[in-house]
Every structure is written in structure tokens, then in C-alpha cells.
Amino acid sequence: MESTKSADGTIIAYDRDGAGDPIVFISGAFNDRTKCAPVAELLRDTHTVICYDRRGRGDSTDEGTVAGIPADGPDRELADLSAVLEAAGGSAAVLGFSSGGVLALQAAAAGLPITKIALYEPPLGVDRAPDLPERLAELIIAGRRGDAVATFQREGIGLPPAVVEQIRQSPGWPYLEAMATSVGYDAAVTRLGLPDSLPDLPMIVLNGAETWPGLRELAAGLAAQVPGMRHLEVPGGENHTMPPAATAEALRTFLAGAES
């Protein structure tokens, strides 16, 4: 594990492996840096792969206030990614998974030194209550971390209440509660949606052939909306997961600049 420091003093932990042109992996909700590791490992023979913990997850800290997440969360995360890109050598390609894909697009629009953008099932176009980030912050400040997690699962992800209750009774619930603050960041960045303009970069959006139908439709719709963005469906990927081999193969082809 290595680390870098963001603008507000937050320590951002990351793993680096491989050699070659760098690619930074940005995970999604309830994920730490291990989420993208199986895909990254398959690219280390041709690329320097960097998987980092977004703030408040895994081994990364968070020096920001919970109350400030709804307004300032996206800017904090852009500063974090900027620090990671600097640690990567100054610029890099990025792969954004789920809400990490929304963050990747916001970063490109903000002018961060990103060379290529790959997205995996970003939740752009999903209807959410506009005040969700504020309500999550209120729950976390009140010490109701479990309620914050459940609210995000229902309203931010769209899980049925019965499924959320099943998860709440599962052995993995304490892990989710421990990451409760982080979902405020996911809600804040996804609220921004698709940037009004994006730089002229190579871009691709991926989805799994066996994912939830809505995510497949969102990926295709995003590619149709963004000029020059390619859309590719990879085999597998049930339940909003990245199939390592198929995703790595698609990324390798994309990063090499070849058509698939």
C-alpha cells in the first residue's frame, strides 16, 4: 500500500502494480480499492495499475465534515483524484465503476489530466430525490448510520425495501454501516449527473450482458448522448459486477487504441 495527501490533508491510500502507461481505477458505492483489483491485476503486464480508496473508505481518511458533503463532496473527491493522478506520474487513463464513473466524467470536465475514460455501468439517468445527499448527512450526524445505508440502498440504488431489510439482517451489515459516511459522497457526485461539456478524449462505456436490464439501457443511452463515446457489452457481469477477464480484455483493447 502507498498513500498520497489530498488538498485538505486527507490521506488517500492506493495500490500500484505493473509497468507501462498508467490507469487509475475508481470504485463505486460501498467499495474499497479491492473492488477493481481483479480487473487491474489482469492488466499489470502492460500497464501501471492504480486502485485507490476513495475518502472515508478502506485505508483512506476523511478530513472533511459530514455536514459539508452535500455541497463540497464532489470537489473534495476531485482533489483526491488529482492527488492520485499526480502520484501516477501526472496523468493517466481512468476506469470508473458505477458512481466512480460519474466522478470520472466530472473530473474530465473539470480539466484533470485524464488521457482516456472507460466507464462501467455508471448510474447516469437514474431518478433520485434531489435532497438525498442532505438527508443522508442528517442521518449520519444523528448517529443513524444504519438508516443512512438503508436509505441510500432504497433511494440511491433502487433496491426494494424487502431486499434492504434482508441485507440489514446479514453478517455483512456492520461492514456497510462502517462505510455509511461514504454514501453521502456517492449521492453528492451522482446528483451532478452528466457534465454539460466534456473534453475530446477517447471514451467507452461498458456493461455486462447479464447485468440488470436498466443498467444496460443506461449505458447505451449514455453512449448515444455523448459524441464519440463507444458502447461495448461484455460477457457475464450479473448483478452489476465486473467480470474480470472480459472487462480487462475490453480495457486492454480500448487503451491500445484499437477497435473491438
Is residue 199 domain-shared with residue 180, that is, in the same domain? no
Is residue 81 domain-shared with residue 13, that is, in the same domain? yes
- Whether 207 is covered by a domain: the verdict is yes
- Whether 190 is covered by a domain: the verdict is no
Query: In this structure, which long-range contacts are made by residues 59-65, counting pairs with CB atoms below 8 Å and at least 24 apart in sequence?
Result: 59/1, 59/3, 59/11, 59/13, 59/32, 60/3, 60/10, 60/11, 60/12, 60/13, 61/10, 61/11, 62/10, 62/181, 63/6, 63/8, 63/9, 63/10, 64/8, 64/10
CATH number at residue 93: 3.40.50.1820
Q: Which residue has the cell 466524467?
A: 105
Is residue 25 domain-shared with residue 112, that is, in the same domain? yes
From first to last of its 260 residues, what are the pLDDT tens digits of the chain?
999 999 999 999 999 999 999 999 999 999 999 999 999 999 999 999 999 999 999 999 999 999 999 999 999 999 999 999 999 999 999 999 999 999 999 999 999 999 999 999 999 977 788 999 999 999 999 999 999 999 999 998 888 899 999 999 999 999 999 999 999 999 999 999 999 999 999 999 999 999 988 889 999 999 999 999 999 999 999 989 999 999 999 999 999 985 44
Domain containing residue 32: 2-126+195-256
> Quick one: which of 170, 14, 161 has its CA closest to 94?
14
The CA distances from residue 2 to 36, 53, 70, 79, in Å, are 16, 11, 29, 17
The CA distances from residue 208 to 24, 42, 231, in Å, are 20, 18, 11
Is residue 111 domain-shared with residue 59, that is, in the same domain? yes
pLDDT of residue 150: 96
- Rounded to whole angstroms, the Cα distance separating 171 from 152 reads 19
pLDDT of residue 128: 83
- Whether 113 is covered by a domain: the verdict is yes
pTM, 2 dp: 0.94
97, β-bridge pairs = 120
Number of domain units in the chain: 2
